[in-house]
Amino acid sequence: MNVPAQPQNRRTGLYTAAERQRRDASPWTVVQGILAPLQFLVFIVSLALVIRTLMTGNGLFAANVSIVVKTLVLYTIMVTGSIWEKAVFGKYLFAPAFFWEDVVSFGVIALHTAYLVCLFTGWLDSRELLILALAAYAAYVINAAQFLLKLRAARLSQDSKGFGGMEAAS
């Protein structure tokens, strides 16, 4: 016999009502809200430095430092994001609502980590290293787009169910 889901556990869009409450109550939501735009800002500055270095041959040290900073911010947002995911969905990673975003995030982390390994071991020359960073950045852009599209769809879904952004009582 099928028992209907309780209102708190019924998924309507990205979050159940209980998950939405946990999301809104979690301090990690604020942390993610601060780190995501910070990471994007670091990315933009670093991308400019990398492109400048590839085009002119100047500024390699600054480009490398910026990529290391970008990677550290990425690690920070991944760790705090997994804590957020645990607080909201009960799993540190691969909660169904963000499964594919987490999968791609691991690819992004792998490319950034490969950059660090190559930087500190000298396995690639400067140009190859910067091209690896660009590959990592391309993966980051894809991953950021995944998250933005998911969150936009969730917002649109929530707005369409209520009045002025408020959920209709059911």
Token pair belonging to 34: 């601060």
The model's pTM? 0.84
Token pair belonging to 167: 């959920």
**H or E stretch at 3:** none
34-91 confidence digits (pLDDT tens)? 999 999 999 999 999 999 999 999 999 999 999 999 999 999 999 999 999 999 999 9
Structure confidence at residue 13 as a pLDDT band (50, 70, 90): confident
State the Cα angle at 63 between 134 and 117, rounded to 5°.
65
130-142 confidence digits (pLDDT tens)? 999 999 999 999 9
